Amino acid sequence: MAEGDSIFRLAARLDAATAGAVIARSDVRHPRCAGADLAGQEISGWSPRGKHLLLRTTAGWTVHSHLRMAGRWSVLGPGKRLPTAVAADLRVALHLADGRTLAGIGLPVLAVLRTADEHTVVGHLGPDLLGASFDPGAAGPRLLADPGRAVLAALLDQRVVAGLGNMWAQELLFLNRISPWRAAGAVPDPAALLRHGSDLLCDAVAGNPEQNTTGRARPRHWVYGRYRRPCLRCGTAVAFAPPGRTPHGRETWWCPRCQR
């Protein structure tokens, strides 16, 4: 699943490529909004919200999408077409007046709605760690709302804070020597933890597109994806729990010694 920094960079690229373009014809194939017509509208820009993407038009409409594991957006040049196998997964095609096509492929979540109604699709999200107004002090108490909940599960809950995916959340906990199973209420400084998470995402947007957390060529991650390999701090074998054995339903890695 795309992490918040990946969505932020994608929104910036799409904004630079298509903001100001006029949609000559639209083809929306997602069953929830098939038949929506955006023809004649100008794209005013793209905005990320956690892991969600919002394309807005000057006519007051929004195309909302979430990529999850395999969705993507592509800008096709004039005369270019998607390969047949890929075209089968096309969910929305916005044919621009300049001959290009903005294609949403394999999007599991797609909606076309009034911009004034965006709260119905992203209003449930917590503070965005990449938001310009993100306040760790104000967001910290949200992590403690369910004090008995495992901290990793709380960090991955986009209603608590938006933008952290499985990789960043687990690397963040390792860097702070916090077990993923520790109760959220036992985290000593929730605001500092979230501030660090925000810093990691901001650094990734600014100059770390590979999402390297170790600063080394290899391995790029401290614990994520490193089951049974030695911890880079203490040498202890990295532990692992499959999704079915976690309260948050995600693969989990941690160092049993560094993250007691």
In the chain, the domains with their CATH numbers are 4-122 (3.20.190.10), 136-254 (1.10.8.50)
Cα gap 6→164, rounded to integer Å = 11
H or E, element range at 55: strand 52-57
Residue 1's pLDDT is what? 59
Q: Report pLDDT digits (tens) over 44-103.
A: 999 999 999 999 999 999 999 999 988 999 999 999 999 999 999 999 999 999 999 999
Helices and strands (DSSP H and E) totals, the chain: 7, 10
Report how far apart, in Å, the C-alpha atoms of 200 and of each of 7, 152, 193 are. 14, 16, 11
Residue 106's pLDDT is what? 95
Q: Report pLDDT digits (tens) over 118-152.
A: 999 999 999 999 999 999 999 999 999 999 999 99
Query: At 33, is the pLDDT very low, low, confident or very high (cuts 50, 70, 90)?
Result: confident
Q: What is the DSSP string of 80-147?
A: ----HHHHTTEEEEEEETTS-EEEEES-SEEEEEEGGGTHHHHTT---BTTSTT--HHHHHHHHTSST
Query: At 31, is the pLDDT very low, low, confident or very high (cuts 50, 70, 90)?
Result: confident
Report how far apart, in Å, the C-alpha atoms of 18 and of each of 75, 91, 97 are. 8, 18, 11
Q: Report pLDDT digits (tens) over 87-122.
A: 999 999 999 999 999 999 999 999 999 999 999 999
Cα gap 199→188, rounded to integer Å = 19
Beta strands 23-28 and 43-49: pairing type?
A: unpaired
Whole-model pTM: value is 0.93
Report how far apart, in Å, the C-alpha atoms of 168 and of each of 40, 60, 106, 156, 162 are. 40, 34, 24, 10, 12
Query: At 32, is the pLDDT very low, low, confident or very high (cuts 50, 70, 90)?
Result: confident
Least confident of 20-24, 30-34, 213-217: 30-34
Cα gap 141→193, rounded to integer Å = 12
Q: 166 near 156, Cβ under 8 Å?
A: yes
Mean pLDDT, all residues of the chain = 96
